[in-house]
Structure 1
Amino acid sequence: MQADILAWLVPAAFATFSGAFLVLRLHGIGSYWWVASFGSAGLAFAATILPPPPPPFPAVKAVIEDILFLLALIFFAYGTTARFRRRPGRRVLGAILFVSTAGATVSALHGSVGREIVFVQTGCALILLEAARAMSGAQRHAGDKLLFALLLALVIGLSLQNILLAGSVSEPLTFENWRGSPWSHVFHMVSSVIGILFAVTILVSLGLDMIEKLRRFSEIDVLSGVLNRRGFEDAARSFEERATGSSAVMIVDVDRFKTINDDFGHAAGDLAIAGIGHLLETAVGRRGIVGRLGGEEFAVLLEDGDAREAHRFAEDLRRALGEIAWGPPLAGRRITASIGVSALRAGEPLADAMQRADANLYRAKRDGRDRVISGDRDESRAA
């Protein structure tokens, strides 16, 4: 009686995890696949605890349990790979499910419990292997790496169980003696421990995702959509550690921004900042880093290009900004910017290059605005 009560703790734990993932998903975290996965596993474990029905139904019960376990791992594969915007092969999983179920069904109908287990465990191992293939190389943090390691560990464990099961069973396993056999205890112990480890690892990974999301959010300027000063400095510091080629920095300052707020209101000024942030982010793309230093001032770190290329790039930005046709309340208003550019010399701190770019920006303001000035290439161009 006590053993039966303890046995029911396993499906209860899986049902609890399924409910926890459901609550998280309703709050926009995680995946419904994990809800279905742990729910199916809970049902499968619950079915194994129930005593076998009278013949010929034990085979039917066993096949239902097998399908539930296989579906639980298929759902798990979809949920795990969806974290990385990837998917396992549908045809591959469909073929594994069909062959494993067919083999297990034929074995169960012939009363060969050992062969049935081998078919199911082989199918489970192949499903997990396909999930590992789909998520290979996409791990983002320690939680993802642990999840990947657990997938491979379970594949190896299931394979070893199959080898041992095929080579060391002295008497044939039947539906009557399976429940009390050592193999039943090993199967339940390994499956429940690995399942709980998977659930805990997923929860840890989701927690790390939230921490990373909050960290990124703290580095984003909400109004412009680009990095704030702190985020720009952190990203630039990371770039300095890995930089190998030529690069340049530019300071972009909107001309006469105060008149925009005075003439059209602060909502119009916010619209201009958002539009300029979008323009810079789109133009720079993966070539560099964009940040809002404060007010109407932006910084761009161009990671690939010398001073001449940076100057041309800044000119393109200046022209593109001046050609924007703003909607209400800025309809008809032409917004321009002055840009100071400086090359980032090998081995020098970014702050030194930004100081030169800032000095060039003030020269552009003094010389009439709406122009680019580069100290590394003493050249300016008016609109």
Structure 2
Amino acid sequence: MHATSFHYYAVAIPVFLLLLAAACAIGSFFLRAHRYLLRQASSYALVTLAFATDIFGGTNPGFFVAAGAASLYLLAAVYAARAIAIRMGRTVQSYAVWTIGLLMLGGIAWYTLHTPDPIARRAIVALSMAMVLSLVVPGVWRAPQRHTADRIAVTLFTLATLLMWMRPVGLLTATPAPLGPLTEITFLRVNLMVLLAVIAIYTAALIACALADSTAKLRAERDHDGLTNLINRRALEEVCTPTPYARGFRVLVMCDLDHFKGINDQYGHAAGDEVLRQFGHILQSLVREADVTARLGGDEFLLALKHTTIEQAQKLIARIQAQMAHACWCPPEPQQQVTASFGMVRLRAQEHLQEALQRADQLMYLAKQTGRNCLQVEGEPTINPDAALTTA
């Protein structure tokens, strides 16, 4: 390879790495919760600095220059390993990193001071980086993967690690031993180009992971009530429309806390919020995972029950009322109890959600008019807690 080609590589590679570092840094700035992007940006910046040190140090640098460049390369591998480890909820074993680093510096000292050999030095550095990257590979494969981008990132990180393992093999088996720039060796040149392509796609996958998480978080904030963490009316309409029956729902229950305004007036809105939070937790703890629990607003809640009968739904309400009766509510007086009124309807095959909500809402207000703390089922007499418990 001609000198002009070597100079091209010496400029193109640092520029390429700095562009990747800038992409990760920008992503980290706008997606602050994803600190692994900053780790990855630091890794690319350190490789660039180490590459420049290696280039300007020449073929036979002094020990401090060689050790400094090697340390920068190793630190870059550590940051890269920590980036994927943080993303996947794993850690990097510090004692293993220190052991690899000390062994690397020992090898650099030997092949700089005792038996000068630039190829052996480079092989030791590449081997040390491959070992550090390999520390996290088993862990990230076992980690739960939230998005398709996670699987892509883990696969590409593993591929980059394998390519890094090939570099010391290519250095030590090259014949004749290279005396000029490493880019003159075809195997290493191809290895480097493939490695750069892999880490470019890997960087895009890491940024995609951060974007996917941020999008999911925004969607969760949009669809969930911030106080109770139940889904809100907008999300309920999305889950149950156009017809709840077609989505598998069979029973709809509207519930409203009794005398909730009095709780706010007597104990304050903080106590009222805690009551809402506790009631939401009771509902969510007793319904099945397939069912839907929503807060419609204020102290109104809704249960949409899948593939269940009216009798089974009545037993569920009885359990809710029993747990409410034994709960320790936020208001300071021990005798203060919180109750709720319930309205229950069977869903019809072609009925729209709003129609079913209107019917359940009317029954709920009927339950309030008939004494509160009771269940009103469409077409059946009012059920109070004691009767419901007897039935259950």
**Which of 54, 76, 94 matches 1:72?**
76
8 Å contact from structure 2 (residues 321, 385) kept in 1: no
The aligned counterpart of 1:178 is 182
**SS, match of residue 154 in structure 1:** helix
Separation in structure 2 between the aligned mates of residue 130 and residue 42 of structure 1, nearest angstrom: 23
**1:203 aligned to 2:207?**
yes
Separation in structure 2 between the aligned mates of residue 315 and residue 342 of structure 1, nearest angstrom: 16
1:13-63 Cα distance to aligned partner (Å, 9 max, x none): 3553564466457x4443353354334333333333323264653xx6555
* Residue type at the aligned position of 1:204: A
> 1:83-102 counterparts in 2 under 5 A?
83-84=87-88, 86-88=89-91, 90=93, 94=97, 97=100, 101=104
Separation in structure 2 between the aligned mates of residue 150 and residue 284 of structure 1, nearest angstrom: 41
The aligned counterpart of 2:337 is 334
- Give the deviation of 1:64 after TM superposition: 4.5
Separation in structure 1 between the aligned mates of residue 342 and residue 232 of structure 2, nearest angstrom: 19
How many residue pairs get matched?
Answer: 374
8 Å contact from structure 1 (residues 360, 373) kept in 2: yes
Q: Give ranges in structure 2 of 5+ residues lacking alignment.
A: 387-392
**1:251 aligned to 2:257?**
no
**Which of 297, 300, 304 matches 2:303?**
300
The aligned counterpart of 2:130 is 124
Separation in structure 2 between the aligned mates of residue 164 and residue 185 of structure 1, nearest angstrom: 10
**Which of 209, 218, 222 matches 1:218?**
222
**1:145 aligned to 2:167?**
no
* Residue type at the aligned position of 1:222: G
1:128-181 Cα distance to aligned partner (Å, 9 max, x none): 5733642446332343233123223324544565666666x221135x553654
8 Å contact from structure 2 (residues 253, 343) kept in 1: yes
**SS, match of residue 50 in structure 1:** helix
**Which of 363, 368, 378 matches 1:365?**
368
Separation in structure 2 between the aligned mates of residue 264 and residue 370 of structure 1, nearest angstrom: 21
8 Å contact from structure 1 (residues 100, 123) kept in 2: no
Separation in structure 1 between the aligned mates of residue 245 and residue 205 of structure 2, nearest angstrom: 32
8 Å contact from structure 1 (residues 96, 127) kept in 2: no
**SS, match of residue 253 in structure 2:** strand
Q: TM-score, normalised by structure 1?
A: 0.72
Identity level (%): 22
Separation in structure 2 between the aligned mates of residue 382 and residue 40 of structure 1, nearest angstrom: 68
Cα gap change, 1:312 to 1:99, in 2 (>3 Å)? farther
**Which of 306, 315, 318 matches 1:315?**
318
Separation in structure 2 between the aligned mates of residue 123 and residue 67 of structure 1, nearest angstrom: 10
The aligned counterpart of 1:48 is 54
- Give the deviation of 1:335 after TM superposition: 2.5
The aligned counterpart of 1:291 is 294
The alignment's C-alpha RMSD in Å is: 4.7
1:315-355 Cα distance to aligned partner (Å, 9 max, x none): 2322333455554699865331023456789x998949867
Separation in structure 1 between the aligned mates of residue 107 and residue 23 of structure 2, nearest angstrom: 28
Separation in structure 2 between the aligned mates of residue 80 and residue 134 of structure 1, nearest angstrom: 7
8 Å contact from structure 1 (residues 121, 158) kept in 2: yes
Cα gap change, 1:267 to 1:64, in 2 (>3 Å)? closer
**1:30 aligned to 2:28?**
no
Separation in structure 2 between the aligned mates of residue 332 and residue 52 of structure 1, nearest angstrom: 83
8 Å contact from structure 1 (residues 10, 45) kept in 2: no
Cα gap change, 1:37 to 1:312, in 2 (>3 Å)? farther
8 Å contact from structure 2 (residues 111, 120) kept in 1: no
8 Å contact from structure 1 (residues 248, 303) kept in 2: yes
Q: Give ranges in structure 1 of 5+ residues lacking alignment.
A: none
8 Å contact from structure 1 (residues 96, 123) kept in 2: no
Greater Cα offset, 103-112 or 43-52: 103-112
Separation in structure 2 between the aligned mates of residue 195 and residue 40 of structure 1, nearest angstrom: 15
Separation in structure 2 between the aligned mates of residue 376 and residue 101 of structure 1, nearest angstrom: 81
**1:273 aligned to 2:276?**
yes
